[in-house]
């Protein structure tokens, strides 16, 4: 029976000539997607990247719970929202895949460090599809070193079905890789060093990047240098992709950069959301290419909402299902109105309990297949 189903699927794909893996941008019609899981999530232990990326007000939480499972009531609430998100995506005609469930509270050791894990909630951090290639990012957190295991059965399956699968070189994550002195400075000093001197917690000894620091505009990819993504990784990405793509390094007026998808979010060709609190330093590049940059609406998250991994600007971390439909958090009414005024159909979904874990709709997904072709979007003459 299984063989018959496989044969049927292969025949159907052959007839329709559907690529197994195919995505070139953030807005073409979504056909298949990986959605993360919160089950098994553990609070990461204190480490340099965590110190550089969380508010000092959260440190008591990490000292108390680091290495232990997240409180069950937080997990249950977020898992419920993720299940509803998957249900709605399926109803919209999209194939939804999920990673395996792991107990990330387990302790592990390499020759360079000892840690426990984090979660498999944010596939956008570890996986990115560029054309027919799935790239597995090395990431910079010790607690995320073995996160790939939750996705391994999926990436192997996609390889077997015809996709290209590339695993970027992993950093050893030794103490020498991190600027520990920087990580331990008071937050105001760190912010000042980052804004004025481009200081980051990760050094350039080995390539390191989170896939969520990359945004795709067809042949042009924009990558930010952040606490997770270093310059050597940007070099690696360009050389791995070759001449078919152009990789551009961009920066934002951000004192604590981590992940680009709450700073720059393309909606469709010619229109992108930008974060008014941390504008892009190379903004003129997009204007010269004919793109309208629209300031995102202010977030509505209450100040007392538990947020351990990100700011309230996660409100602009939306997911485009195509050039008309966009998924938005149900209580972010200013964002919904802004998008509706721009002509989009908004699909509101409750997601604030997922916010608590450091992401929203774009973070918790990796678009495996869109009805997408490799095209130019006005950036052929830029130099970054």
Q: What is the DSSP string of 330-348?
A: TT-HHHHHHHHHTTPEEEE
- With respect to residue 186, please indicate whether it lies within any of the assigned structural domains: yes
Can 259 be counted among the known catalytic residues?
Answer: yes
Dihedral of alpha carbons 266, 272, 278, 280, sign: positive
- With respect to residue 48, please indicate whether it lies within any of the assigned structural domains: yes
Residue 35 is inside which H or E element, if any? Answer: strand 30-35
- With respect to residue 375, please indicate whether it lies within any of the assigned structural domains: no
- With respect to residue 10, please indicate whether it lies within any of the assigned structural domains: no
Can 210 be counted among the known catalytic residues?
Answer: yes
Share of the chain above pLDDT 90, in %: 90
- pLDDT tens readout for residues 276-301: 999 999 999 999 999 999 999 999 99
- pLDDT tens readout for residues 141-168: 999 999 999 999 999 999 999 999 999 9
pLDDT at 6: 40
- With respect to residue 317, please indicate whether it lies within any of the assigned structural domains: yes
10 Å CB burial of residue 283 (0-12, 13-18, 19+) is middle
**Separation between Cα atoms, residue 273 and residue 340, nearest integer Å:** 13
- With respect to residue 118, please indicate whether it lies within any of the assigned structural domains: yes
What average pLDDT score do residues 78-89 get? Answer: 98
pLDDT at 17: 60
Q: Which residue among the candidates 28, 125, 179, 210 is catalytic per the annotation? A: 210
Reported pTM: 0.94
Structural domain span for residue 253: 20-370
**Separation between Cα atoms, residue 131 and residue 123, nearest integer Å:** 17
Radius of gyration of the chain measured on its C-alpha atoms: 20
Q: How would residue 7 be classed by pLDDT, with cut points 50, 70 and 90?
A: very low
**Separation between Cα atoms, residue 216 and residue 228, nearest integer Å:** 18
- With respect to residue 289, please indicate whether it lies within any of the assigned structural domains: yes
pLDDT at 381: 84
Q: Which residue among the candidates 280, 310, 363, 366 is catalytic per the annotation? A: 363
pLDDT at 371: 98
Is the pLDDT at 51 greater than 50? The verdict is yes
pLDDT at 15: 34
**Separation between Cα atoms, residue 219 and residue 245, nearest integer Å:** 5
pLDDT at 240: 97
- With respect to residue 7, please indicate whether it lies within any of the assigned structural domains: no
Can 363 be counted among the known catalytic residues?
Answer: yes
CATH number for the domain that contains residue 77 = 3.75.10.10
Q: Which residue among the candidates 24, 227, 248, 259 is catalytic per the annotation? A: 259
Per the structure, how many domains does the chain have? 1
Dihedral of alpha carbons 257, 259, 263, 264, sign: positive
H-helix segments, the chain: 2-16, 48-53, 59-65, 72-91, 123-126, 152-160, 180-183, 187-197, 231-241, 283-288, 333-341, 352-355
Question: Read out DSSP for 311-376?
Answer: -GGGGG--EESSSSEEEEETT-HHHHHHHHHTTPEEEEE--HHHHTTT--TTTTEEEEEES-----
């Amino acid at each position: 029976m299984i063989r018959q189903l496989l044969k049927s699927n292969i025949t159907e794909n052959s007839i329709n000539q559907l690529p197994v893996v195919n995505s070139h941008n953030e807005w073409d019609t979504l056909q298949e997607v990986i959605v993360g899981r919160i089950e098994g999530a553990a609070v990461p232990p204190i480490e340099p990247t965590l110190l550089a990326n969380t508010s000092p007000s959260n440190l008591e939480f990490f000292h108390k719970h680091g290495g232990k499972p997240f409180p069950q009531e937080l997990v249950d609430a977020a898992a419920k929202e993720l299940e509803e998100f998957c249900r709605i995506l399926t109803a919209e005609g999209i194939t939804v895949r999920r990673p395996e469930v792991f107990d990330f509270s387990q302790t592990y050791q390499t020759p360079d460090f000892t840690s426990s894990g984090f979660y498999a909630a944010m596939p956008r951090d570890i996986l990115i599809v560029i054309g027919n290639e799935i790239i597995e990012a090395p990431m910079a957190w010790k607690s995320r070193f073995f996160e790939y295991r939750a996705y391994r059965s999926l990436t192997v399956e996609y390889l077997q079905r015809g996709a290209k699968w590339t695993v970027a070189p992993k950093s050893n994550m030794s103490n020498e890789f991190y600027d520990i002195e920087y990580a331990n400075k008071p937050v105001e000093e760190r912010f000042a060093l980052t804004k004025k001197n481009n200081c980051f917690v990760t050094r350039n000894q080995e390539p390191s990047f989170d896939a969520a620091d990359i945004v795709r505009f067809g042949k042009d990819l924009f990558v930010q240098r952040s606490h997770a993504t270093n310059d050597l990784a940007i070099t690696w990405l360009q050389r791995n992709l070759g001449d078919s793509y152009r990789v551009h390094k961009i920066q934002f007026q951000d004192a604590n950069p981590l992940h680009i998808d709450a700073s720059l979010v393309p909606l469709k060709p010619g229109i992108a959301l930008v974060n008014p609190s941390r504008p892009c330093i190379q903004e003129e590049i997009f204007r010269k290419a004919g793109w309208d940059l629209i300031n995102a609406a202010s977030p509505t998250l209450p100040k007392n909402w538990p947020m351990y991994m990100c700011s309230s600007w996660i409100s602009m971390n939306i997911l485009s299902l195509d050039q008309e439909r966009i998924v938005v958090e149900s209580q972010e009414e200013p964002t919904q109105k802004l998008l509706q005024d721009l002509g989009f159909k908004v699909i509101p979904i409750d997601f604030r309990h997922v916010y608590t874990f450091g992401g929203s709709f774009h973070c918790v997904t990796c678009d495996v297949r869109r009805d997408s072709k490799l095209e130019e979007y006005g950036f052929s003459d830029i130099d970054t």
